[in-house]
Amino acid sequence: MAYGTASGPEDIERYYTDIRGGRPPTPEHLEELKARYVAIGNRFPLAGITRQQAEGIERELNATADGETFRAYVGMKHSPPFIPETVDRMRADGIERAVGIAMAPHWSGMSVETYHERIRKATGEGPPAFAFVRSFHDHPGFVAFLAGRVAHALGTLGPAERERAAVIFSAHSLPVRTLEDGSLRCKSCTACEDSCRYADGLRETADLVAAELGLPHRAIAWQSAGRTADPWWGPPIEDVVAELAAAGHPAVVVCSAGFVADHLETLYDLDVELRREAEEAGIHFVRTQMPNADPGFVRVLAQVVREVVREHLR
């Protein structure tokens, strides 16, 4: 499962109306959104990448299956094929057992759990019987894959830059609320008692990758906050980049660990907007390549699915 995307310039208004709960964007906001897509060449790659990821997972699972046959389906939250439609198709195909995996490594009640809720509503009491991947942010395979991406990005820098380069691990910001003790939680999530699993998950991914590579300079940051009056998870990534530049770091490598495919939040928010701000601050900007449908990443996803099958569906 994935968030969804506009299918082309003519679909932008429909898509953003859907993610806004049926409220159309203002004409000014719509024109700004269209301009962002123009800035990245009117590319809308998420749907195609998600299909490639699903096809790769299916191939990997069936190549190592012990008498079982796996079939992958794609369901989107905000664009066709919508999750309920996909569940209906699975039922019509006679699927009785299934694993639901959202293409998002870190769990939050406002993100991954909403995909699971759509499946539960669509299935009701009938088949398929679903088990879910809650998160894979700390899976050894995922950590090793990200470490390889960060190491490759650092390798593109000269020796002097590399020695003092900082690595930022980022994820999509979410609106937050403040508890009586002053701690923060995702705004509409009530599942986390001691601390926020979403924020903790990003920190854990950063810690694990940093430990594997021995990174001396690293930070976490939040990107792509929405346009609401709510406070959002911070610090914003643009502030962190500015602080690193002011501290004398010659280069910054951004690992957008909360995303697994290229889309507007990477191609525009990072590659266009953040790159420009980094250049203005006098710091060299490099972004790690997204996992997309890389065979190594697909193998990680297939392993995650296998583990859920063994634990919950046998």
For residue 132, is it within any domain? Answer: no
Q: The pTM is what? A: 0.96
For residue 208, is it within any domain? Answer: yes
Handedness of CA 194, 184, 202, 2 (dihedral sign): positive
pLDDT above 90 for 28: yes
For residue 165, is it within any domain? Answer: yes
Axis crossing angle, helix 27-39 with helix 12-19, rounded to the nearest 10? 120
Pairing label, strands 166-172, 218-223: parallel
Percentage of the residues of the chain whose pLDDT score is greater than 70 = 100
Largest Cα–Cα separation, the chain: 61
pLDDT at residue number 312: 87
d(CA 103, CA 43): 19
Average predicted confidence (pLDDT) for the chain: 97
For residue 263, is it within any domain? Answer: yes
- Closest-CA residue to 129 (of 103, 99, 86): 99
pLDDT above 80 for 65: no
Handedness of CA 290, 296, 302, 306 (dihedral sign): negative
Q: What is the 3-class SS of 103-144, one letter each residue?
A: CCCCCCCCCHHHHHHHHHHHHCCCCCEEEECCCCCCCHHHHH
- CATH number for the domain including 215? 3.40.50.1400
Contacts of 160 (CB under 8 A, 6+ apart): 250
Each residue's pLDDT tens digit, 185-195: 999 999 999 99
Binning pLDDT at 50, 70 and 90, where does residue 125 land? Answer: confident
Q: Show the DSSP H helices in the chain as ranges.
A: 12-19, 27-39, 46-63, 83-92, 112-123, 140-155, 159-164, 197-213, 237-246, 264-267, 275-281, 295-312
Number of domains in the chain: 1
For residue 8, is it within any domain? Answer: no
pLDDT above 90 for 314: no
Each residue's pLDDT tens digit, 245-293: 999 999 999 999 999 999 999 999 999 999 999 999 999 999 999 999 9
| Half-sphere CA count of 295, side-chain side, radius 13 A | 2
The β-bridge partners of 221 are 170
Question: In which domain, by residue range, is 277 found?
Answer: 140-287
What region, left, alpha or beta, does residue 22 occupy, with left being phi > 0 and alpha being psi -120 to 50 degrees?
left
Quote the Cα angle for 171-139-307, to 5°.
125
For residue 33, is it within any domain? Answer: no
d(CA 284, CA 103): 29
The two tokens of residue 170 are 């980022």
The β-bridge partners of 2 are 76
How many residues make up the chain in this entry? 314
Pairing label, strands 184-186, 176-178: antiparallel
Peptide bond into 81 cis (omega under 30): yes
The β-bridge partners of 1 are none
For residue 311, is it within any domain? Answer: no
